[in-house]
A = this chain, B = another copy of it.
Amino acid sequence: MNKKAPIPLGIASNRADETYLRLKDELFNFYLLPGDYFSENEIAARMAVSRTPVREALFRLQREGYVRVMPRVGWQVRPLDFDKFDQLYEIRILLEESSLQRLVRKENISNIKMLMATWCCLPDERESDAKAVWLQDEQFHAGLVEAGGNAEMSRIHQDVMERLRIIRRLDFTKAQRVNATYEEHAAILGQIQRGRIGEAQRLLRSHIEASRLEVHKITLSMLYEARLEKNRAY
């Protein structure tokens, strides 16, 4: 029984991607807590792969700011840095606002119509599942940037959103927040359709600012609970 299991590969096409996704999942669910120390061997044993794909995954996560390596010492989960999150929110606002600006110049509003189908609907047609709303919200903001027509800007926006995801995913748990999101998105799209870009930008900015503040509040308690949860498990 010294032979390894046949093929424990997941949906990813290789073990490195698989390990990357699993590790990110553990980071997002606070199984790996900010500040924790760990080693490559530890991860490799837990995920039943060799150190090679683990290292590849960790380097990617390091590049994205989630973990850091201390040479010949070990790895650490980077502590949550709310100043950094604020800065990323500011960049989000900048990118999305400027995409609206270019939108009106390029008359590229086909994406916008698709977004309206999702967001400009009657209250009883609204999605209620938190995770589904969160996904649609991601698509809304990505869609605005894509409509701007700058693919590199979309890529950067996606990176920023990715880095915010660890705290943003804790939003959309209260019905009130979901309803507010629907109304604000619809209002923004409405102003765009009327060609009032300036007003749309103003609404967009305050919409994102509201999200930022809300997430601040939620995350602190959620992180605390996640910490308790993990401690209970041992």
Instruction: Evaluate contact between A156 and B91: CB separation under 8 angstroms.
Output: yes
* 0 or 1 for each of A83-115: is its CB under 8 Å from B? (1 = yes): 010011011001100100000000000000000
Instruction: Name the prevailing secondary structure of the A interface residues.
Output: helix
* Minimal beta-carbon separation of A168 from chain B (angstroms): 16
Given contacts A13-B71, A156-B156, contact A151 B87 (CB under 8 A): yes
Is A150 part of the contact surface with B, judged by Cβ < 8 Å?
A: yes
Is A184 part of the contact surface with B, judged by Cβ < 8 Å?
A: no
Give A14 to B153 CA distance when docked, in angstroms: 33
Number of contacting residues on A, CB 8 A? 20
* 0 or 1 for each of A152-181: is its CB under 8 Å from B? (1 = yes): 110010000000000000000000000000
Copies per complex? 2
Given contacts A56-B59, A63-B63, A98-B94, contact A84 B13 (CB under 8 A): no
Interface set of A (CB-CB < 8 Å, partner B): 13-14, 56, 59-60, 63, 71, 84, 87-88, 90-91, 94-95, 98, 150-153, 156
